[in-house]
């Protein structure tokens, strides 16, 4: 049974879990790869983290929401900024990361690699 403080804790961490694309579940249902969060000495909630590729989709969707339009509608400079941000967040270490980002930006993989190379040259 969860108390009022537990519900407040769950409410507080929910936006972070949602932004990561995670899933919240009761601590007694946690698997070996889940993260159990404790509050005031008691296990309150378990968080099931998404696969890295799913996280990239969530990051791209959040970037679109923040900008208020599809990433493919951005100008070249804004797309380069998106690629810089994604590289800093490790997006291109995910399998098919370049392809996923290229598709979201409406550009070719070659263009994404060009954006990455320009960044390294500056």
pTM score of the predicted model: 0.61
pLDDT value of residue 3: 62
pLDDT value of residue 1: 44
Backbone φ/ψ region at 96: left (φ over 0), alpha (ψ -120 to 50), beta: left
pLDDT value of residue 20: 76
**Each residue of 33-88: pLDDT tens digit?**
899 999 989 999 999 987 766 778 888 988 999 999 999 999 999 999 999 999 98
Percent of the chain residues past pLDDT 70, beyond the cut: 92
Burial of 38 (0-12, 13-18, 19+ CB in 10 A): exposed
């Amino acid at each position: 049974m969860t108390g009022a403080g537990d519900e407040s804790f769950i409410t507080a961490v929910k936006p972070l879990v949602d932004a990561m694309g995670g899933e919240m579940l009761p601590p007694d249902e946690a698997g070996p790869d889940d993260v159990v969060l404790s509050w005031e000495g008691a296990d309150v909630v378990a968080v099931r983290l998404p696969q890295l590729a799913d996280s990239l989709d969530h990051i791209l969707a959040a970037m679109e929401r923040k900008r208020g339009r599809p990433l493919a509608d951005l100008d070249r400079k804004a797309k380069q900024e998106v690629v810089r941000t994604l590289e800093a967040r490790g997006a291109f270490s995910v399998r098919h990361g370049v392809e996923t980002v290229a598709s979201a930006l409406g550009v070719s993989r070659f263009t994404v690699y060009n954006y990455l190379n320009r960044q390294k040259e500056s």
